[in-house]
Structure 1
Amino acid sequence: MTKADLVEKVYLKTGFSKKESSDIVEMVFDLMKNTLEKGEKIKLAGFGNFVVKQKATRRGRNPQTGEEIEISSRNILTFKPSQVLKAAINEQD
């Protein structure tokens, strides 16, 4: 599913114009992005949690040359689905 698909679904379900639907989807993504940039957690009940975690500096190896390199620390985004989402995905008919 793409952002355009999401806009289309919002448009069909809400009756808003496509422009308004696009603005709503963009606003939600901007709010999520800004929250995560601040290092805050996003908890969506029945869906899951988005968390920014810090990965420490570590040693690595260049696979082409075998040379040891240092991989710098960085932030990573993790998602942990809720039990409700896991159950819905794994539900068998």
Structure 2
Amino acid sequence: MAKKVVKKAAKKAPAKKAPAKKAKKAAAPAPKAVKVTATAGKTVTASALLQTVADHLGVKKSEAKALTEGYLDVVKAYVMKGAKVKIGDIGMIMIRARKARMGRNPQTGEPVKIKASKKLAFRQSAVMKAAVAR
């Protein structure tokens, strides 16, 4: 019996080496949870916001400022051209046109003509709406 085992082992083809794989680009690290220290009712300053972004990305505060300001400049440019800008699962920023209409002076009650205008508007996403409702 031992001979049969040896013969079977001898019949196996030598293992082939797998072809060398090309090096893949390093995958982006998994996003870390954002740590915020603000409590309800407090206003977050731009400086505190930039520090949180810098900590989250692991970069200097000046680099976070450059990235954030660049992002906001691009969003502003698109909105000013009339585009609706979707920001992740937060919502959409757009410009809405308001028609001319008749209103009333609350003190005298007399009719007042209100001109047509444009305003910046934000519409929250369904994901954000559900998160806020919790």
Relative to the length of structure 1, the TM-score reads 0.82
AA aligned opposite 1:66: G
Equivalent residue for 1:3, pick from 46, 53, 59: 46
What does residue range 73-92 of structure 1 map to in structure 2 within 5 Å?
73-91=116-134
- Take 2:76 and 2:128, find their aligned partners in 1: how far apart are those partners? 22
Root-mean-square deviation (CA, aligned residues, Å) is 1.6
- Take 2:113 and 2:80, find their aligned partners in 1: how far apart are those partners? 25
Higher relative contact order (CA 8 A, sep 6+): 1
What does residue range 11-30 of structure 1 map to in structure 2 within 5 Å?
11-30=54-73
Structure 2 gap segments, 5+ residues each = 1-43
- Take 2:130 and 2:45, find their aligned partners in 1: how far apart are those partners? 24
Structure (1 or 2) with the larger CA radius of gyration: 2
Deviation at 1:68, TM superposition (A): 2.5
* Structure (1 or 2) with the greater helix fraction: 1
Between the aligned residues of both structures, percent identity stands at: 34
Structure 1 gap segments, 5+ residues each = none
**Matched residue pairs, number?**
91
